[in-house]
Amino acid sequence: MESVGDGKVLIGSGAGRPAAANITGDSNVTITNGTNSIEVSSAATGGALTKISTATASTSASIDFTGLTSSYFLYIIRYSNLQPATDATTLILRTSTDGGSSYDSGASDYSWSLFQANESGSESGSADTADSSITVLGVAGGSDEMGSGANEMGCGNIYIFNPSAAKYSFVFCQGTYFNEATQLITNYSGGYRISAADVDAVQLLMDAGNISIGDFVLYGVSNT
């Protein structure tokens, strides 16, 4: 039997003994020993995350992700090292139906609810059935908005469900951050655009001021 080195497998040969095989390819992987070969599909199956794009905030008015299509039934935005330029502000989300040329911001365009707990164990909830955005982190006007001091950052995930369908687009958010008093807060929020319209872009911004820093990655999840 032939010796196999790192990164190789054995495959049967016409000579009557297995031989070391090379592995080549991308979405379809071919394993061959020069005479015999097998092909294996390595394409992502339904439910796998596909990285679509990234964005980095640097004193940015907003972070926009466009090009949401029916190719994915679920989009996930993961963000980290997020810090507002203005103290005591809230991270919010808005949607677009024209590819990001404009974002819906009417006074009663969205409905959302939020639950949060601080590191002392105190819990609270907030909601609004007619707002100009969906609240992602912090509650505007309260004592648990995002802080902008040293190390006062946030991270989390935003799930956008089936946005391309002409139905309500639901959003679910989970995140952890430091408030303006440097107290750790964990919150969960959910909301939707109050319109049965296809959403093809989303925008993240602070309710006042810019996003000082932050790293963002958009993923798509296929159901096939």
The per-residue pLDDT for 44 is 54
Asked if residue 158 has pLDDT above 70, the reply is yes
Provide the pLDDT for residue 128: 97
pTM of this prediction? 0.80
Please name the residues in contact with 16: beta carbons below 8 A apart, sequence gap of 6 or more: none
pLDDT band at 203 (very low <50, low <70, confident <90, very high): very high
- Comparing 14-18, 153-157, 162-166, the range with the smallest average pLDDT is 14-18
Residue in 204, 192, 200 with CA at minimum distance from that of residue 70: 200
Q: Please write the tens of the pLDDT for every residue from 59-117.
A: 999 999 999 999 999 999 999 999 999 999 999 999 999 999 999 999 999 999 999 99
Average confidence (pLDDT) over 170-199: 96
- Give the domain ranges of the chain: 9-41, 49-221
In this predicted structure, what is the pLDDT of residue 223? 82
Is the pLDDT score of 157 beyond 60? yes
pLDDT greater at residue 141 or residue 40: 141
| Interacting residues of 192 by C-beta distance below 8 A, sequence separation 6+ | 110, 111, 112, 134, 168, 169, 170, 171
Share of the chain above pLDDT 70, in %: 79
pLDDT exceeds 70 at position 2: no
**Can you tell me the distance from the alpha carbon of 4 to that of 124, in angstroms, rounded to the nearest whole number?**
61
* Cα separation values, 162 from 54, 159, 197, 222, Å: 20, 10, 11, 10
Q: Reply yes or no on domain 49-221 having CATH 1.25.40.
A: no
pLDDT at 141: 86
Q: Annotate 159-196 with b (16+ C-beta within 10 A) or e (fewer).
A: ebbbbbeebbbebbbbbebbbbeebebebebbbbbbbe
Task: Look at residues 114, 189, 205 and name the one whose alpha carbon lies nearest to residue 156.
Answer: 189
- Cβ atoms of 114 and 141 within 8 Å: the answer is no
